[in-house]
Amino acid sequence: MTIHPIVVYGEPVLHRAADRVTEFDDELRTLVADMFETLAASNGVGLAAPQIGVGKQIFVYDAEDDVAQVRRRGVFINPVLVGSKVPDGRPDPDDESEGCLSVPVLDFPLKRSEKVTINGKDENGETISLVVEGWFARIMQHEYDHLQGTLYVDRLQDKWKRRWKREQKAEGYNVPGVSWLPGTDPDPFGHGEDDEED
């Protein structure tokens, strides 16, 4: 398995819809295994193929589902997602903030559907389905958006959108060719820093 660099906002593959997967073969299974390896090294909860520069409709996830009280780990290929109505109002910065491996360091509040149904295929072409709520539903929406060429910062409300634009310019997240390598480059979100200090 191989850990891939994660590309950063501004890379064209992140900003266009991904292509459907048509071949469920060993090459696909290797890619999915690499994505799981990259996700683990990144300390993230989800990773979409465009984030490693591959414009295909694939995302992997590995995270706690607090509502169902189980840990979920899996892959969705060519997914279709249907969500409940996004609640009105302003997002709560404490409870509704998101971050993204392709927007290192930053996080912003964003309203999402509380419940989603997602259907797709696994790496062997088998049909899979999930109905999830709460934070795990947020993960599914975030990764699904990546396959549509949308990042969470593209959905921010006006106040947070203005702040994002300032931060985007300050961090240089507006040009192609920027990436970071999980497990090699410093973790941009500071995961594990406490462990290192001990």
Nearest to 79, CA basis, from 16, 13, 127: 127
Element (H, E) at 123: none
The catalytic position among 143, 167, 196, 197 is: 143
Catalytic residue check, 167: no
Contact 80, 102 (CB under 8 A): no
- Evaluated on CA atoms 162, 45, 171, 51, the torsion sign reads negative
| Distance, CA of 4 to CA of 174 (rounded, Å) | 21
DSSP string, 87-112: PPSPPPTTTSEEEETTEEEEEEE---
> Could you list the active site residues?
143
